């Protein structure tokens, strides 16, 4: 096999691997985002059921989309109330972890793609 054929085969493999890594990264990022949305919806429902009075005072009525439905559970002032129910607190902690991953994962993915592209451009 000649050098040109070997180089063409290696280029094809690296581009195929790059495409697979990109798809995996995008899929994982999407999964984290969808999981965060699902956990947040569960948390809102559980909070409304467990603390109806506080929910009616602090959250918009059911069916209304509002950013407060997410940010309420991240406020320092709501922590004491949320800690009173173990299930709500666990859901809140899972939401915080998923939101942190939602911020970090895209940045790490872009950085990895940039590094791999740079390595591929340098030949190796």
Q: What is the C-alpha end-to-end distance of the chain, expressed in Å? A: 20
Residue 51 in contact with residue 83, Cβ under 8 Å?
Answer: no
11, part of any domain: no
pLDDT of residue 12: 47
* pTM, 2 dp: 0.78
12, part of any domain: no
99, part of any domain: yes
Q: Which residues contact 33 (CB under 8 A, 6 or more apart)?
A: 102
7, part of any domain: no
Q: Number of structural domains, the chain? A: 1
What sign does the dihedral 114-120-123-124 (CA atoms) show?
positive
Q: How far apart are CA 65 and CA 46, in angstroms?
A: 17
Range of the domain at 77: 33-122
Q: How confident is the model at residue 8 (pLDDT cuts 50, 70, 90)?
A: very low
Q: Does position 120 have pLDDT exceeding 60, yes or no?
A: yes
Least confident of 15-19, 25-29, 60-64, 67-71: 15-19
42-101 pLDDT per residue, tens: 999 999 999 999 999 999 998 888 899 999 999 999 999 999 999 999 999 999 999 999
């Amino acid at each position: 096999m000649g050098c040109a054929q070997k180089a063409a085969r290696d280029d094809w493999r690296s581009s195929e691997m790059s495409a697979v890594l990109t798809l995996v990264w995008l899929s994982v990022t999407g999964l984290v985002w969808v999981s965060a949305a699902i956990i947040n919806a569960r948390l809102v429902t559980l909070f409304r059921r467990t603390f109806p009075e506080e929910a009616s005072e602090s959250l918009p009525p059911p069916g209304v989309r509002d950013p407060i439905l997410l940010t309420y559970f991240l406020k320092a002032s709501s922590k004491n109330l949320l800690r009173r129910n173990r299930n709500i607190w666990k859901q809140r902690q899972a939401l915080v972890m998923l939101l942190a991953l939602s911020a970090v994962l895209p940045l790490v993915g872009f950085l990895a793609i940039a590094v791999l592209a740079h390595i591929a451009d340098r030949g190796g």
